[in-house]
Every structure is written in C-alpha cells, then in structure tokens.
Structure 1
Amino acid sequence: MTQFRDPDLIDRAYIGASAYHAIKRYFAHAEGLPAGYDFEARYRAYLGEALEAPNRKTFSLATMRFFASLRNGHTSFWDEELAQQTGPMPFRIRRVEDQWTVVRSKLAELNPGDVVTTVDGKPVDQWLEAVREHIGQSSLAALDWMTWLRPFLLPQRFAIGTDDGRQVAIDLTEPPIESERGLPLATEVETIYRPDGVAVIRIPGFDDPKYEEAAVGAIRGVENAAAVLLDLRDNNGGSSPGNLLSAIMTNPYRGTLVSSPMTIANSDASNSFHGDVPALPTMMRRSGPEMTLPFPDAWKGKMALLINGGSASACEDFALRFKDGNRGLVLGEPSFGSTGQPYFVRFPEFGMSFSVSTKREYFPDGRQFEGIGVMPDVSIPLMRNELRNSTDTQLELAAETVLSQ
C-alpha cells in the first residue's frame, strides 16, 4: 500500500482553492444544476468543513460531497489512500426490476438474484442516503449504478437483509474466499462464435488502446459470421474508439454537438464592473456535429450493440455514432448518460486528484444527452430469473434479434 502525506491546513486550503478555480473556469454543466443552486454559498460552506475537518478522511469526504453537489459524472474528487484502505467489493448490487439485487457475489451467503431489502435494519434507500451524497451524477439511474461501487464510503461492517428473511453479515475487512458467482465481466476482448452463426465480441473498456486494437482485429477475423454482436455491457469508456468506428461503419455518421466554456477577460471585466459575473461559466463555445464518411473496407455484415447502464463515456460516444449512422440495432438497457472531456488536477504527494468536465455534449440534433444516455432500439432488461439461473438471457435475446434484422 502506497503511503501518502496527509494535507495540512495550508494544503487543504490550496486543494480547495484549486477546485474553486477549475470549476469556475472549466465546468460545462451549469445548465444541469437544480434551480436555486448557489455555487458560492456551497463552496464557502465546503471550505469551512474542509479546514475544520479533524482528519484526512473527513476532509476527503467533505470534498467529495462538494464535487457531488455539481451532479455530473465526470466531475469528482478522489482519494487513493481511502480507496486502498478497503479491498474490492465482494459483491455487486444494482437495481434489477426496480429492486436492489445481487448481480455477482464472492460471498457464500449472498447469491445472484437475491433482493436486498434492509441494511442494518433500515430500508435500503434510507441507509444509503449518507453514501449517495458523496456521488455526483446527472441522473438517478446513473447514481443508482454507482452507489455500491465505492467500498470506502460504506461502514466496514454491516448486515444485509434479503427478501427471503435472511440476515447476512458483511465484513469488508475480510477478503472473500469464494470464487465470484454471477454473470461474468469481460476482462479482455474476446470473440465467442455461437452455433447460430453470431460472433459475439466482448469489449471490456476503451481506457487502454489494446482493447480497441484487439476489437478491430476481431472484426477483421469474422468475415464468415452471419452477424456480429458487440457486447459493451459494463464498458465504462476511456478514449473514443475512432479506429473501431472506421472498421465497422458503412454509412456517414455524425458526432455530438459540443458546448464548452469560454473565458474572455474583457467580457469578464465588463460583467464585474456591472456586478453580474455569473458564479459558473455561461459563455459557451458550441461546435459540431461533425460528419464522418465511412471507409470502403469497413465490415458490411449484420451488426448490433448490446449495452447497459454501465456503458459509459467513450462507450456512449461510440454507441451514439453507431446509432446515428444506422449501422444496426442498439439493444439492451439505456446507457449511463455522462460524457465530457475532464480537466484533471492531481496532488501526487497526497494521493488525491479531481476532475472537472469541460464539455457538455448533446445528440447531433441538439437533444439533451447528459443524464439521459443512449436509448436502446430494442429494450432487453436484465431480469432476476437469469441471475438466479446463471443464464445470460440478455445475450441470447440480443443474438436472436441481430439475426432477424
């Protein structure tokens, strides 16, 4: 475990001032804030908390709450030391059929498909209130997706009550000894050739160039497939995969309409003279949508995408362009609903960093994207029965659908 220095009072003030400057200059999502949100008042309240915090953890949690108040998935604060103090989460819980449901588990007492009804004797949503105030997202669905992914926000020990009356003791300090059960996550790009002729290419992310390179190679190796299904579930993005788009797109397609803050000293000075300087950027530069023409050697067979709420950021950029170019059907569940190139500020000696989203993106026709995401052409929601039976019904239905195009 890497040892970091705790920020002293001056360091905390510097981190807070750096956050204030970056948000005031670069934050692109003022229009998405709730009516009446007062950034200056919120910052002053945060600064009091941050400077009076009795320890590192309290300071970091206060800073997370401040960033979370901006309600944007690409604007957040991170403390690596807090993350290292707890191991990985031994289970994955997300909303399925509108109930908090175990999707994967390394604990013998928790099974995929179990519904969580209480935690420490309280209704789940009530117990989670203190957790969720540290996680800033543009929509309730995105907030739900992220809620159980940060173990350092949870108590080290708590008890989960399930819908069949069991009480399961959770100890996050104890490493699980069971292998993970439930629908597995892809860790590398893999191609699965099904008996029905569908080639399923699973792509875990776009945060490492090797994934896009492997995906392009996989596309070039499926000449005889009846159809290709790109499985992008839980692909949380990275860098927009332009080479992969070039390998598959057969029609012209548009990108997003982008809005990004502009800072013009003369304009700001004029506003300050009249006393009406906005708290957050409102002068925006708009660009796009750009049109991209297809490459003549792109793969031309049947194709579809399978996405879910964990398909985020650059993965959504990819799905949006795929859909705009009418390349095939988008199947599954709505995507995460947040993208935007972040401005990063890092404090290596403390193991801390933050990001501020510098772009607010819209669909090519100007419709809102942030907080909504890419909607599937055919809805295939995850169901509890497939979790209980360890059957990937989403994938089966998606394969049937792509063949019928």
Structure 2
Amino acid sequence: MQFRYFILMTFCLAAFIRSTAQQVSKSTAYTAPIQKTLSAMDAYDRAQQARSDANDLWEKKGATGLEIEKGITILKKAVIFLDSIPVNELANGNIYLKARRNDIYLDMAQAYALANQRDSALTSLENMFALGEPSGVLNYIQKNPSLASIRTESRYLAVINKMKMQGELWENTALNTSYKNDLTLTEKIAGLSLLWSQAKYNFVYFDHLSNDWNQTYLDYIPKVQTTKSTAEYYRVLMNFYAQLKDGHTNVYPPDSLSTQFYSRPPMRTELIEGRVFITEVSSDSLYKAGVQPGLEIVKIDNEPVIDYSDRVVKPYQSSSTPQDLEVRQFTYGLLSGPKEKPIVFQLKDKMGKITERTAARTGYHDIKSKKSLEYQTIGNVGYLTINDFENNRINKNFDSLYTQIAATRGLIIDIRYNGGGSGNIGFNIISKLTNKSFKTSASKTLQHTSRPGDEPRWEISKPYDWAANGKIYYDKPVIVLIGPRTFSAAEDFAVAFDYMKRGKLIGTATGGSTGQPVPFNLPGGGSARVCGKRDTYPDGKEFVGVGIMPDIVVKKTIKDLQSGKDAAKEKALEILNKGK
C-alpha cells in the first residue's frame, strides 16, 4: 500500500484514540526518561498521551490563553521526544509511530492559531507538510475552525496549493477522463502506463513471477494501440494485469460497460474431476426451465465448455493459485458476458441424456440470495455458515446465537464460500472461541527512498495480539471448513485459527490471496487495484500464492454432487461426534 494511504489511515486511527484517551488516567509518560526496552508501540502511546493531554487544554470551549500555552508546551515536549535518536530509530520501522509527528504539528498549528500566534501556526503547518502529510487531510484543514485566523495568509495558501497539487498527482486527476466508446490513443497509452507504474512501485509479489515486468509493459503497448473500442481496450488491460498472477491485483472496466462484462444468470457452476457441473441455481424460474444442479455442462454456445472457458474467460482472470484460477474460470467468470446475449447450454444428466437449454443472463425477478450468517444444530453439533465478512451485523448475530451454540458438544464453522470482507469481523468471532489472546497475520509493505537507484526495502509489521472477548467463551471442539473460494479476509481468519491450533481445518486449499490493495482510477471511467501488502502466518510462513492447507483433505466428487452428499461436512460431524 502506498505510504500516503497508511498515513491517512493512522490519522483516522489517531482521532479515535484521542477521543478515547480521556478514559485513561493522565500521566506525563511522554516526558519520562527513555528506557532501553522502549518499543515502538510504547513510544506511540506516549505520543498519543501527549496529544490527548494537550488537546484537552487547547480544544476545550472557552480555553484561556494560559491553558492553550500549556497545551503548546506539552506538544513541544512530545516533538522533542519523537526527535530523540532511539524513538527516531523505532519510527523508521513503524509507520504508525512515524505519523505522530505530522499529527502533532497539525495540533500545534491549531493551538498557535487559537493563541493568535500566526507565524508559529504557519511554521507548524509548513513543518507538517514538509514531513510528507498526505493530501487526504486537506478537507479537514480547510474546514477546521481553529485555523480560521490564518486562512488568508499567503503562507497558508501556499501550503494548501501544494497539498492540492500533491493530491492531484497521486490521485491521477488528469488521467481520470470520462467514458466514451473509443478512447484516444493518448488515453490508452496513459492508462497502460499508470497500471505499469502502480504495480512497479506498490506490488509486493514480483518474486512470484518469472517474467520481466518492464518488458511486459513494452509488449502491451502495441496491443493497446490496435484496440478499436474502449471495451476491447479494457480487455487488454485486464489481460495485462493478469500477468501479475495475484487475486488482489485487478482491472475493472467502466460502469458503462459493466453489463457487457459481468451479466450472468443466477446460478453457480464448478469444475469437478475435470468436468463442469451446475452446482447451484438461485432462481425458481430458471430451475423450472430445466437448468438444475447436478447437470453437466458439455457445451456453451456450441463450443466444448473447457475450450470456451480457456478462450473467453481464462485470459482475463487475475489469480494467485491454480485453485483460485479454477474458481474464477469455471465458477465466477464462466457465464459472465453481455446482458443482451443469452447463453445456449448443452447439458447432460447422470444417465447420459443430452438436452439443450437457453438461459438469459439477466431479467430474473425471483433470485434467492444467501444470508451472511446461517446457523443450525445437527444432533448435538452446531453448524455455523459464514458466507462473507462484509456485514457488520455478523458479530451481533453470533452473539444472539451464542446460547444455542454454547449448548452444543462441538462447532463447525463453514467458510468455504466466504470471499472475504473485513478481517476484524472474523477475528471477533475467533475471540469468542478462546480465553487467550491470539496472533493475526504478520505483514510487510514496500518502502521507497528518495536516493536515485535505490531499490525499495521492506517495512515490517509484526503480528498483532488480538485479545480474547472475555464475556463469551466457547470452549468445546471447533472445526473450520475451507476451500478454494475461501479468500482474502476469510483466509486471515483461517490463518489465525490455524496458527493458534484451536481445531482442525477440513476441505481443500484456500484461494491463496489476501492483502491490502491500492486502488486507483483509469482513463475512461474504469479502475484498478494492486496488492500493496504482503501477509504471512505470524511466524513468516507464506500462504499467498499457495493457499492455506487443510489438516484433513476432503475433495468434492461428481458422485457426491449427484447424490447431494457434503463429504467435508460429514467428516467434520464424524470427528465431533466421536466424543460421545
């Protein structure tokens, strides 16, 4: 992830910490002697305490000049603390601590402005910008009433203009052109170049590749030059980023083209034992038309289904592992296409009878959607399905079910179809399965220097110790079901669960892709993202590009599908019921 995104994130985090710091007893820890054992987080806490103490003085309504001066003095001491050699060294390895100086200078600018010390306020604002403050705080600065007294000053306006130019540079404002049926050659080259440069400076998995990224860029210039439409151009861009082989590094066409690229009927398909089957139909009208689970798809539009997928789908899929590519090729992307073009299937039942069916890609009014969380009790075993980590109600729903879950002899958590969302939602679930803290993933990002010719270095973030919930604690056996559609934040969940040895993982390898993507816009209204954070197990074990491996492998078979058997689920039930 780009440095500016981290700073913006920590600015928001700092605001939260500042709002809650009043609950902590006041201290002058930031003025205490620096201990040899001081950690980056200790230093961070000291700086935040200083900000909290100072802001309590200068921010309060009706603050006197003496109170504001006391607040400024506290902030000055905090800057001295952060400038000390040991703390500076810690900050070089911790981006959250490093960002505190920016925040303190902004606090000082506001306090000085309230004290009508304009030169000092302007100097503080200039110091803040000189440290590399991201343009994301520009709106806050322009609207903050504390800075009203310096808004007409030329030095203030100079800082604001520089931040605006910085924002336009990093937001690629000039390249965010509007959609038209065929972009200009200039726009096409600019878009390709932007994709190349964003990956070169942010992508964290070049060591997974064997190709030269710069040469790949050169190879694609003539390809974009010969495109005849924006739709064709975006297909080339999608294919370009597919060369990076990462599930969190993707190109998305403009909204104006979404129905041409992503329209598909409400059904799921899957490659099982080398053949493609319908596994799920979410529309009664489609089901009644003869498109049903268990049927094999032999052809699509009169072309053998594997050949069709290799030609129409596979070249545009960004994936980190063979199992993830298989899902994208035969589950997510196989039936996607133009809204107005129906799909003609050749289907075969288990008796070998072949029929032909036609399905529209859109126009269904009876689609049944899955819930984020579903629960049932099977015998005396709880079965909890979590289909995503995107819904903030998941944790509340889990809590509401806890009485039922607590009465079981064991719990199965099924995240086989969980494509991710917020890792915190999953960690909150795990915190209720233990009475001890547990570790989340370790990670690292790229840190660039301004020295010509220097290659980027790794910025290391150690695994975080997530506290046990305390109020709710399920202490019975737990099994987690995983598969190739277990992805992103669901893999963060699986890593934490696996590393703490809370229970068995059953199923097949996960998708093998997580991280923090850096998003950006492209000419013509499209967008893209590139993975800027490299996650591992807490001990450094890699799983991106590999997948999280189950303790017990259970693969889906054609026989299981056609008989309605869920072998992984049955295996989990068998293990948990052995405790009778």
TM-score normalised according to structure 2 size: 0.60
The secondary structure found in structure 2 opposite 1:248 is coil
* Among 521, 525, 530, the residue aligned to 1:356: 530
CA shift in 2, pair 1:15/1:208, >3 Å: farther
| Structure (1/2) with the larger helix percentage | 2
Alignment of 1:79-118 (within 5 A): 79=253, 80-85=255-260, 87-105=263-281, 106-107=286-287, 108-118=289-299
**Which residue is equivalent to 2:346?**
160
**Which residue is equivalent to 1:259?**
444
CA shift in 2, pair 1:378/1:216, >3 Å: farther
Alpha-carbon deviation of 1:312? 0.7
Q: Quote the Cα distance in structure 1 between the aligned partners of 2:457 and 2:242.
A: 23
1:132 aligned onto 2:308: no
**Which residue is equivalent to 1:67?**
241
1:321 aligned onto 2:496: yes
**Which residue is equivalent to 1:188?**
372
Checking the alignment, whether the CA contact within 8 Å between 1:232 and 1:311 is kept in structure 2 is yes
Per-residue displacement from partner, 1:374-401 (whole Å, max 9, x unpaired)?
A: 2222223223334323344433332232
Deviation larger for 366-375 or 310-319: 366-375
Alpha-carbon deviation of 1:165? 5.3
Return the structure number with greater relative CO, CA threshold 8 A, min gap 6.
1
CA shift in 2, pair 1:263/1:54, >3 Å: same
Name structure 1 gaps, 5 residues minimum. 272-276
The secondary structure found in structure 1 opposite 2:543 is coil
CA shift in 2, pair 1:209/1:364, >3 Å: same
Residue 265 of structure 1 aligns with an amino acid whose one-letter code is: S
| Structure (1/2) with the larger strand percentage | 1
**Which residue is equivalent to 1:274?**
none
Q: Quote the Cα distance in structure 1 between the aligned partners of 2:549 and 2:322.
A: 15
TM-score normalised according to structure 1 size: 0.84
CA shift in 2, pair 1:28/1:197, >3 Å: same
Q: Quote the Cα distance in structure 2 between the aligned partners of 1:178 and 1:238.
A: 26
Checking the alignment, whether the CA contact within 8 Å between 1:87 and 1:175 is kept in structure 2 is no
Q: Quote the Cα distance in structure 2 between the aligned partners of 1:395 and 1:179.
A: 26
The secondary structure found in structure 2 opposite 1:388 is helix
Identity of aligned residues (%): 21
**Which residue is equivalent to 2:159?**
none
**Which residue is equivalent to 2:481?**
306
Deviation larger for 12-21 or 138-147: 12-21
Q: Which has the larger radius of gyration?
A: 2
The secondary structure found in structure 2 opposite 1:201 is strand
Q: Quote the Cα distance in structure 1 between the aligned partners of 2:278 and 2:202.
A: 38
The secondary structure found in structure 1 opposite 2:228 is coil
Alpha-carbon deviation of 1:339? 0.5
**Which residue is equivalent to 2:203?**
27
**Which residue is equivalent to 1:201?**
384
Taking only aligned residues, the RMSD between alpha carbons, in angstroms, comes to 2.9
Residue 226 of structure 1 aligns with an amino acid whose one-letter code is: R
* Among 276, 284, 301, the residue aligned to 2:458: 284
Per-residue displacement from partner, 1:127-172 (whole Å, max 9, x unpaired)?
A: 3222201001111111001113134458754443547252534444
Checking the alignment, whether the CA contact within 8 Å between 2:183 and 2:229 is kept in structure 1 is no
Residue 262 of structure 1 aligns with an amino acid whose one-letter code is: Q
CA shift in 2, pair 1:156/1:51, >3 Å: farther
Residue 76 of structure 1 aligns with an amino acid whose one-letter code is: N
